[in-house]
Amino acid sequence: MFWKYGLFFSILSGGIWGVFWQIFFTVVGILILGTPLSLELSQIMIIGPIAGILYIKSQKHLSIKFHLTAIIIITLLIFVSHLGNPYQAEDENQLIIFMLILLTSFFLWLSLNHSLYNLSPRKLSKHDIESFFIKFMWGIGLIILILITLIPFYIMIITSLKNQQSLILNPLDLSVNLNTDFKTLFNSYIELFTNFNFHLFLINSFIVSCTTVIITLFFSIPGAYALARLRIPNKKIFSGTVILIYLIPSIVLIIPLYAIFSYIGLRNSLFGLILVYPATTIPVALYMLRGYFSALSSEIDDAALMDGLSRIQIILKIAIPLSKPAIVSVGLYVFMIAWNEFLIAFMFLDDPNIFTLSRGIMSLNSSEIPQQHLMAGAVIATIPVMIIFLYLEKFLISGLSAGGVKG
Amino acid sequence: MTNIKKKNKNTLLEKEKKLGLILLLPTILIVLSVVIFPLLANFWISFKPVSLGDLRPPKLVVKERIKENLSDKSQLAEIQYRYRNSSIKYDLENVIIKDIIPNGFTVKDLQPAQLCKLKLKELTCNLDNVSSRSSGKIILKVHKNDQWQKELDNPKKTKPLVTFSSKNILTSLEFNTENFKKVFSASEFFEVLKVSFYYTIFGTAGALLFGLLAAQILQKSFRGRSIVRGLLLFPYVSPVIAVAFAWVILFDPFSGIVNSMLVQMNVIDKPINFFGQKYTDIIIFGYVFKFPLALSMVIAFEIWRYFPLSFLFILARMQSFPEEVYDAAKIDGASPLQQFYYISLPFLIGIMSILFLLRFIWTFNKFDDIFLLTGGNAGTRTFTVNVYEQAFAISNLGAGAAVAVVIFIFLLTFSLLFMRYSKKETF
C-alpha cells in the first residue's frame, strides 16, 4: 500500500505545509502592503511536495549549509513557477514580495524539519504513522490556535490606531505607520479621554471593582471559614445552596432588580451597583475559599484553640496568612468579574458621569461615532485586566481553575 | 466526670454553631436581599400585567397660578390650582388637596364649592376620584384686605399638599396567567427553544472539544509554552464588550477585514453580513442547504471565548497524571492514538462531563455575548435575549419575567442533574 510509505507522508506534509504558509504569507503581504495580492495555490501544491521529497531523501546529510541551499532552491522554484511575478503585485513592491517568498520557503522547510524529522522514506509501522500524524497536526494546530486567539485582539489594537479616512479607503491596510506623530497615532485615545469622559469611566470602574473585592472578601472569608471548619447544622444543604445561587444568572434577576432599584431610587447610582455586585460574587468567593480552607490542616486550628485563641483570632492570625495566595487569586477573580460586568451596568446606569467602562463603551456603539473610537475604548477596558493577568498569571490561573466555571 | 466532659463538649458545640451562624449571617442576608428576594419578586411579576411605565408611580400634578393684578385692593384676583393625573392608566382615589391661604386675602368665591371647604385659612378640597389622564381646576376669587403685607402674603409661598391613594399593580393582589399564555402560545416560543438549545449544545461541546485539543497540544513541553498558555487565556479574561465588538468589526460587511480579504482573494463575490444574515445557502453536491449563519457565528464566538476554560481544566488534570503509565504503555507497544484513547480519555472523561454540565448551564444562561453581537436578531434569539426583548424593548415587564421563570425552571432541572451527577465525581 503506497500510503504506508514515508515518502508519501513527505509529499503530503510538503503539500499541506506549502499551502498553509502560502495562504499565511499572502495574507501577511496584503496586510503589510495594503494592496491586493492574488492567492495562487497550484504552484505551491507542486513545489511543496518536491521540498518534502528533497528533505526525506537527504536526511542523512543534513547540515546548516544544506538547509540554506534547500531554502534558496525552494525560493527560486517559487519565483520561476510564477513566471517571476508571484502574487501579481506591482513592481515597486518587489523587495517585500521577495521577502515574503523567502519566508514562505523558510517556514515550509522549518515545518518539514519538524514533522519529517527522523522519518524513513520506506514502509512505516502503524506506530510511526501515528507519531508522524500527531507531530504534523501538533505543529499546524499550535499555529492555528495562536492565530485564532490573537487575531481579534490585533484587529482591536490596529483599528484603534487608524483614522476614519484610511479605514474607509482601505480596510485591509492593517499596517501601522509608526512615522506619524504621537498625536495622530493615538488620536482616538486622546479624543476619548478629552471629549468622552473616559477618565471618569476608568475611575468609576476602579471604584466599583475595588469596593466589590473588599466587600466580597470581608464577608466571604469568615463565611468560608465557618463552612470549612465549624460544625454547623445542615452544612451540606447550605453548601449546595451556595452552588445553586452561584449558578443563577443575572438575566433572571434583572427585571425585579430594575423594578425594585427604580422604586427606591438606587438604580442610577454607583452605590446601587456596589450593592448588587458583591451579592453575585460572594457565593463564588465562598465556594472557592471554602475549598482552600478545607485543604489547610485542621491540627493547627486545634493547637491554637488549646492555646486559648478564639476562632476570630484564628481566622485573622492563622487562616488568612496561610491562605494569602488563595485570597489574592479569589480577589483578582472577583475584580475581573466586576470589571468585565456588562448587563447590570448597562441596565442601571443612565447618567454619563457615573458610567463604568463597559457602559461607556456601549454608549460608543452608534453609527455616529467612528469605529476606531469604539476599538480604542475596548483597548482601554482590556489593558488593566491584561496587566493584572500577565503580572499575576499564576495566581489568576489557580483562581480561574477553582471558580472559573462561572461566566 | 464523663458528664462534665459531655456537657463541656455540648456547650462547645453550641458555641461553634452560634459563631458559625454569625459568620455566615451577613452572606445570608446579602444573598437573601439581592438574589432570593428578586427571584421571588420575579415570580410575582410574571403573574402580573406590568409594563415598564408602571414603574413610575402615578402622580397628581398640581400647579398654582395667580391671575389678575394683586396690587389693587379693590380688585378681585384669582388663585387657580390646576391639577392633572399624570398616569395614563391608573385612577387616583381619595384625592385631597390642602393649602394655606395667607391672612392678607379674603376669599369671595370658591369653585367647585361642593368639594372644597375653607376652614379658617386652610383650604381643603376633597376631590375623591381623579380618573386617569383627567384634569381640573380649583378657582378662588380673592381680594386683599388690610392685613396684607407684600412679602409675607404671596399665596405661592406655601406649596399645596396633595394626598391620594392609588392602585399599584406591583403590590396589588391581582394575578393572571396572561404572560405565560403569551410566552408559550407565541409561535416564536419553539423557535426560541430551538435556538437556545442549538446555541447551548454546540457552544458547550465545541468549547470542550477545542479545549481538549488545545490541552493536547500544550501538554507537550516546548520553549515558550507558558507564554502560549497565557496567550490562550486572553479571550476569556478580557471584557466581553471589548472582544464582542472586536468580532463585530472584524466581520463587518462594509469595512471588516474578513469580508474584504475574502473578496480580494476571490473567494466570495460580495460581502457577507455575518452577524446579520439568518441563513446562507450552501451548495453541496447540487443540494442547496440552508446554513444558519448568524447563529453559527455566535456559536463560534462562544467557542472562541470559552475554550480557554476547558483547556485550563483539562490541562491541569492531565498534568496531574502519572507519567509512568504512558511509559509502560509505550513499552507494551501502544501507539500514540491508542495511548490517547485507552489511557488519557478515560482519565479525562470525569472532568469533561462535569465541565460539560456546568458549561451547559452557563451557556444556556449567557446573555451578554449574543446581545452584543447580534442583539438577538437574525435567528439568534435565545431565552435570555428574549427576557430583555420582552421586558425592555417591548416594555412588557410581566412577559419578560415569565420568560425568566422559564429559564429558571430549566436551570433548576439542569442543576439537579448536575448535583446528582457530581456526587459521583470529585470536583
A207 vs A27, A286, B36, B326, CA distance in Å?
43, 22, 26, 51
Q: Which of A240, A382, A404 is facing B419, going by the closest CB pair?
A: A240
Burial class (CB in 10 A: 0-12, 13-18, 19+), B148: middle
Residue-by-residue pLDDT tens, chain A, 407 positions: 677 788 888 888 899 899 989 888 888 887 777 667 777 788 888 888 888 888 888 877 778 888 888 888 888 888 888 777 777 766 677 788 888 889 999 999 888 888 888 777 777 777 778 778 888 888 888 988 999 999 999 889 888 888 777 766 666 666 666 666 777 778 889 888 988 889 999 999 999 999 999 999 999 999 998 888 888 877 878 877 887 788 888 899 999 999 888 888 888 899 999 999 998 899 888 888 888 888 777 788 888 888 888 888 888 888 888 888 888 888 988 998 999 999 999 999 998 899 999 999 999 888 888 888 999 999 999 999 988 888 777 776 666 665 544 44
90-149 of B, contacting A, C-beta below 8 A: none
Distance CA B400, CA B386 (A): 7
Nearest CB among A138, A275, A347 relative to B220 is that of: A138
Cα atoms found within 13 Å of the Cα of residue A214, Cβ hemisphere only: 8
Specify the higher pLDDT residue, B214 or B71: B214
Same domain, A399 and A288: yes
Q: Is A39 left (phi over 0), alpha (psi -120 to 50) or beta?
A: beta
Which residues of chain A neighbour B400 with C-beta distances below 8 Å? 255
**Distance of alpha carbon A101 from alpha carbon A86, whole angstroms:** 8
Residue B427: pLDDT over 50: no
C-alpha span between B387 and B402 (Å, rounded): 8
**A182 inside domain:** no
B234:A153 CB<8 A: yes
Nearest CA in chain B to A234: B17
CATH at B157 = 2.60.40.290
- Chain B contact set for A131 (CB, 8 A): 335-336
At B167-183, the pLDDT tens digits run 777 777 778 888 888 88
Tell me: do A124 and A207 sit in the same domain: no
B65 contacts B82 by C-beta, under 8 angstroms: yes
Q: Which amino acid does the sequence have at A108?
A: L
Among candidates A26, A232, A248 on the partner chain, residue whose Cβ is nearest the Cβ of B35 = A248
Q: Helices A6-33 and A126-160 meet at what angle, rounded to 10?
A: 0
A181 domain-assigned: no
How high is the pLDDT of residue A359? 93
Chain A residues lying within 8 Å of B250, measured CB to CB: 151-152, 155
Distance CA A322, CA B129 (A): 68
Q: Report residue A338 as a C-alpha cell.
A: 466586576
Question: Is B49 within a domain?
Answer: no
The verdict on a CB contact (< 8 Å) between B239 and A385 is yes
Chain B from 225 to 264: CB within 8 A of any A CB = 228, 230-243, 245-247, 249-250, 252, 255-257, 260-261, 264
- 178-217 in chain B: CB under 8 A from chain A: 213-214, 217
Predicted local confidence at residue A173, as pLDDT: 64
> Do both B92 and B201 map to the same domain?
no
Residue B45 in any domain: the answer is no
Domain that holds residue B80: 57-166
Of B232, B388, B408, nearest to A149 by CB-CB distance is B232
Residue B243, exposed/middle/buried by CB under 10 A (0-12, 13-18, 19+)?
buried
Statement to judge: residues B250 and B138 lie in one domain? no
Residues in chain B with CB shorter than 8 Å from the CB of A283 are 31
Residue A40 lies in a domain: yes
Structural domain containing residue A106: 2-169
Report yes or no on A180 lying in a domain.
Answer: no
Tell me: do A151 and A196 sit in the same domain: no
Chain A, 61 to 100: residues with Cβ < 8 Å from chain B are: none
pLDDT at A383: 92
Question: Do B117 and B187 fall within a single domain?
Answer: no
Contact A129, B214 (CB under 8 A): no
CA triplet B112, B115, B116: central angle to 5 degrees? 80
Query: How near does any CA of chain A get to the CA of B307, in Å?
Result: 10
Assess B51–A contact: CB distance below 8 Å, yes or no: no
DSSP class of A341: -
Of B26, B39, B362, the CB nearest to A407: B362
The three cell numbers of residue A218 are: 470581608
A400 and B233 within 8 Å at the Cβ level: the answer is yes
Write the CATH number for B365: 1.10.3720.10
Residues A241, A378 share a domain:
yes
Q: Residue A135 contacts by C-beta under 8 Å, 6 or more apart in sequence?
A: A114, A115, A117
| Closest partner CB to A171 (pick from B24, B257, B384) | B257
Interchain CB contacts (distance < 8 Å): A and B = 285
**What is the Cα–Cα distance from A383 to B426, expressed in whole angstroms?**
36
pLDDT at B244 over 90: yes
Q: Verify that B151 and B203 share a domain, yes or no.
A: no
| Whole-number percent of chain B with pLDDT over 90 | 20
How does pLDDT run across B57-107, given as a tens digit for each residue? 777 888 888 776 666 566 677 888 888 887 777 778 888 888 888 777 777
Q: Which residue has the higher pLDDT, B261 or B73?
A: B261
Instruction: Give yes or no: residues B161 and B185 share one domain.
Output: no
Are residue B244 and residue B393 in the same domain, yes or no?
yes
> In terms of domains, do B408 and B334 share one?
yes
Q: What is the CATH number of the domain that holds A350?
A: 1.10.3720.10
- Closest Cα of chain A to B243: distance in Å? 7
Q: What would the grid cell of residue A268 be?
A: 442610577
Do both B385 and B272 map to the same domain? yes
Answer yes or no: do A332 and A261 share one domain.
yes
Indicate if the alpha-carbon torsion angle A71, A76, A78, A81 is positive or negative: negative
| Whether B83 and B213 share a structural domain | no
Assign B77 to helix, strand or coil: strand
Question: Based on the domain organization, do B80 and B139 belong to the same domain?
Answer: yes
Domain end call among B103, B132, B166:
B166
**CB-based contact, A131 to chain B, within 8 Å:** yes
DSSP string of A240-280, one letter each residue: HHHHHHHH--HHHHHHHHHHHHHHTT-TTSHHHHHHHHHHH
Instruction: Point out the residue among A155, A249, A256 whose CB comes nearest to the CB of B250.
Output: A155
Domain membership of residue B123 (yes or no) is yes
Residue of chain A with shortest Cα separation from B313: A401
- pLDDT above 50 for B426: no
Whether the Cβ atoms of residue A371 and residue B249 lie closer than 8 Å to each other: yes
B407 contact residues in A (CB cutoff 8 A): 249, 251-252
The alpha-carbon gap from A13 to the nearest alpha carbon of chain B, in Å, equals 18
In chain A, whose CA is at the least distance from the CA of B258?
Answer: A172
Domain membership of residue B48 (yes or no) is no
Torsion (CA) A181, A186, A190, A195 in degrees, nearest 10: 120
Chain A residues whose beta carbon lies within 8 Å of the beta carbon of residue B358:
405
Could you give the number of structural domains in chain B?
A: 2
Average the pLDDT over B196-213 and give the result. Answer: 94
Same-domain status, B152 and B187: no
Strand, coil or helix: B241: helix
Interface of B with A in 317-346 (CB under 8 A): 333, 335-337
- In this predicted structure, the answer to whether residue B202 has a pLDDT above a threshold of 70 is yes
* Mean pLDDT over the full length of chain B: 83
- Show residues of chain A in contact with B231, CB under 8 Å: 146, 149-150
Residues A317 and A379 placed together within one structural domain of the fold: yes
Place of cell 507519531: A131
Across the interface, whether the CB atoms of A400 and B312 are under 8 A apart is answered yes
- Inside any domain, residue A178: no
A157 and A201 assigned to the same domain: no
Task: Answer yes or no: is B2 within a domain.
Answer: no
Q: Is the CB of B16 inside 8 Å of chain A's CB atoms?
A: yes
CB contact under 8 A, A230 and B34: no
Decide if B244 is inside a domain: yes
Residue B1, domain member (yes or no): no
B15, B77, B142 from B69: Cα distances, Å: 78, 6, 11
**C-alpha cell of residue B377:** 436578531
A333 and A228 part of one domain: yes
Same-domain status, A105 and A253: no
Q: In this structure, are A340 and A373 located in the same domain?
A: yes
**Do residues B142 and B291 share a domain?**
no
Q: Do B239 and A382 touch (CB under 8 A)?
A: yes
B139, B166, B193 — which closes off a domain?
B166
Q: What is the pLDDT of residue B261?
A: 79
SS3 B173: coil
Residue B82 maps to a domain: yes
The pLDDT assigned to A179 comes to 63
Q: How many CB atoms lie within 10 A of CB B104?
A: 19
Q: Say what the pLDDT of residue A378 is.
A: 94
pLDDT of residue B423: 63
Q: CA-CA distance, B115 to B128, in Å (whole number)?
A: 9
Residues in A touching B392 (Cβ below 8 Å): 347
Torsion of CA A286, A290, A296, A299, to 10 degrees: 110
pLDDT per residue as tens digits for the range B367-411: 999 999 998 888 899 999 999 998 888 888 889 999 999 999 999
Tell me the average pLDDT across B6-14.
72
First and final C-alpha spacing in chain A: 51
